Amino acid sequence: MRENELISKIDRAFGRRPDASPEVRLGRGDDAALFRPRAGQEIILTCDWFLEGTHFLREKHPPDSVGWKCLARAVSDIAAMGGGPRCFLLSLALPDTHTGRWLSKFLAGLGRASRKFQCPLAGGDTTRRQEISINVTVIGEVQKGRALLRSGARPGDLVYVSGHLGEAELGLRLLSGRRELRKPNDALTKKHLYPEPRLSLGQWLAKTRLASAMMDLSDGLSGDLPRLCAASGVGARLEEEKIPPIQDPVIAQHYGLNLLGLALHGGDDYELLFTVPRRKAKLLPRAFQGISLTPIGEITKGPKLVLREENGRERPLAAGGWDPFRS
């Protein structure tokens, strides 16, 4: 398959009119895409690797999950700023063996995500490579001055998370233990394979100005909270028993997994981690559109991150989150 044919296949999967969105004035097929920003908005820019062997396994992960997830995790960065996605660029490097059936299923999953997140494909780059390599750039918008940064947390603010932590990691463990994936859509692996970025929640928190700082959880609470604290120049104290674990403890225990460990260190949840000034906390519902919002601790002055056990004893929160460069 030649590069032009590969591009045609992508064009077919995404419809004949690439510039269907009002913002994307010129889509694929030129040197670059043209995007018309709305008045009063700032542009949000993010890009994410999605690489075979690092972020997914060719033989384990269904190609439509690879398509869905490569876009979902980049869109999650837009959610984490309180914005909405507008369009994306796809850089795809494939071996010749994967330009047929694999590519079709990959594009089906990517297309589903693109429609679900209302984020049309605006352009990209394709090439040949032995290992499947994907890079996704998402362009989003947020009302000027309303973006929620990592740097806004202040001592005394409450620390919140959305949803239940560790679900995606559990899904990954289940998937790794199986020879073959029989039911790719079962509830336990769904969060790992088809994560849903918290777009509505993020936009609501930005619009209402309830949150003081926000980020998404991609590398686990213990890996990501230190980043938010470092950006804000603060510390944090978490209450161990308040951290919301997965809701199906039986299966986790069956596999010998520690619920707190999963919730603290499990990656890929794409839930939101945010801080709320104490006086605004009463305005926050317990759940937003069915997603629980749980206070798990508070921001402190010092640079330290500590975990308070149920018995009142405190221990340092050790980063166990996912870092590709850790040996």
Sequence-distant (≥ 6) Cβ neighbours of residue 279 within 8 angstroms: none
Please give the helix or strand (H or E) that residue 94 lies within, else none. strand 84-94
Chain positions 197 to 216 lying near a second copy, rule: CB under 8 A, are 214-216
Q: 34, 57, 187, 287: which one contacts a second copy (CB under 8 A)?
A: 34
- Cα→Cα distances 212→149, 170, 217, Å: 8, 30, 16
Q: Give the nearest distance from C-beta 216 to a second copy in angstroms.
A: 6
* CB 197, CB 76: distance < 8 Å: yes
Q: Is 80 in the site for a second copy (CB under 8 A)?
A: yes
Query: Candidates 21-29, 165-173, 282-290, 293-301 — which segment interacts with a second copy by CB under 8 A?
Result: 21-29
Report the distance separating Cα 183 and Cα 189, nearest Å.
9
Site size for a second copy (CB under 8 A):
68
Q: 31, 59, 180, 310: which one contacts a second copy (CB under 8 A)?
A: 31
Please give the helix or strand (H or E) that residue 105 lies within, else none. helix 101-116
Q: 186, 309, 314, 323: which one contacts a second copy (CB under 8 A)?
A: 323
Q: Is 143 in the site for a second copy (CB under 8 A)?
A: no
**Residue carrying structure tokens 């990209």:** 124
Query: Candidates 91-99, 157-165, 243-251, 277-285 — which segment interacts with a second copy by CB under 8 A?
Result: 91-99
Q: Nearest CA to 249 among 240, 239, 260, 238?
A: 260
Q: 150, 191, 192, 237: which one contacts a second copy (CB under 8 A)?
A: 150
Tokens at 292, concatenated: 């629980």
Q: Nearest CA to 308 among 319, 317, 300, 320?
A: 317
Q: Is 26 in the site for a second copy (CB under 8 A)?
A: yes
Query: Widest CA span of the chain, in angstroms?
Result: 64
Site residues (CB under 8 A) for a second copy? 1-6, 25-26, 29-37, 42-49, 51, 53-54, 77-78, 80-81, 83, 87, 89, 91, 93, 96, 99, 122-129, 131, 133, 135, 137, 139-140, 142, 144, 147, 149-151, 214-216, 231, 323-327
